[in-house]
Structures are given as structure tokens and as C-alpha cells.
């Protein structure tokens, strides 16, 4: 089944403890992206990647890192999490650049992160 998976789905951690949220897609998509969803703010893009070893900042990249060593994986890294990073995180992928207009973005199920 074609899908985007994220792990873990739920995570409670403490300030400063490094964590990684994994994202994997099995559709051979070139484009992958991370978003955070907060009440009243909608979804905001954190980072995106056009292809392997190509990443770029979205609108809210501060405090996050990503890597794209393989086409299928796009982990989100929080080196030193803080309480303001408590949020619902979504990973997404699409066949090509989303701005082609024909490339549907497929979303993962979300990861709910709480930083105490």
C-alpha cells in the first residue's frame, strides 16, 4: 500500500533531550516536507526537500534539522527541544515539486509531540 509513515505517533519528552521523528514513503517520491500544526495557526512548513541531499527551509525552521540521505526517508531532528515545539507534526511527500500543480501531496498520520 502506498503510504507515508511516521514514527513515533506520540512522544512526550523533556526540554533539551535530542529526538528524531522518522518519516518514510514507499512511492519513490522526490519531494518531501515537514509541517507543524498548531491551533489557530494552521499548518506551517518547517523544511522541505526536492530530492536526495537537497533540503531547504520552510517558514518556521528554527530549532529543527532535517536530512535526506535516501529518497524514501526524511527524518526531523530536534537537537534541543523546547516547550514551544510542542505541536502536531506532519510529514508529506509528492512525486515532484508541489508547484507543478499536478502533484498531490500525501500526508503521514501525524506525530503528537509534547515537550515538558
Partner 1 sequence: AQRVTQPEKLLSVFKGAPVELKCNYSYSGSPELFWYVQYSRQRLQLLLRHISRESIKGFTADLNKGETSFHLKKPFAQEEDSAMYYCAPAKGGKLIFGQGTELSVKP
17 in Cβ contact with 114 (< 8 Å): no
Q: Residue 74, Cβ neighbours under 10 Å: how many?
A: 29
108 in Cβ contact with 92 (< 8 Å): yes
User: Per rule CB under 8 A, is residue 100 in the interface with partner 1?
Assistant: yes
Location of C-alpha cell 529543527: 64
Residue nearer to partner 1 on the CB measure, 27 or 107: 107
Task: Report, in Å, the least distance between residue 42 CB and partner 1.
Answer: 4
By CB under 8 A, name the one of 21, 23, 24, 35 that touches partner 1. Answer: 35
- Backbone region of residue 41 per phi and psi (left: phi > 0; alpha: psi in -120 to 50; beta: other values): alpha
Q: Residues 59 to 78: which contact partner 1 by CB under 8 A? A: 59
Binding residues for partner 1, rule: CB under 8 A, are: 31, 33, 35, 40-45, 48, 50, 56, 58-59, 90, 92, 97-102, 104-110
Amino acid at each position: 500500500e502506498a503510504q507515508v509513515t511516521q514514527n513515533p505517533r506520540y512522544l512526550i519528552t523533556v526540554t533539551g533531550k535530542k529526538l528524531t521523528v522518522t518519516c518514510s514513503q514507499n512511492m519513490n517520491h522526490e519531494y518531501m516536507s515537514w509541517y507543524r500544526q498548531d491551533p489557530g495557526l494552521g499548518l506551517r512548513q518547517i523544511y522541505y526537500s526536492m530530492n536526495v541531499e537537497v533540503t531547504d527551509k520552510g517558514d518556521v525552521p528554527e530549532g529543527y534539522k532535517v536530512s535526506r540521505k535516501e529518497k524514501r526517508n526524511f527524518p526531523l531532528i530536534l537537537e534541543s527541544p523546547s516547550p514551544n515545539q510542542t505541536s502536531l507534526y506532519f510529514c508529506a511527500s509528492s512525486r515532484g515539486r508541489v508547484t507543478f500543480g499536478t502533484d498531490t501531496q500525501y500526508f503521514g498520520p501525524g506525530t503528537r509531540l509534547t515537550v515538558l
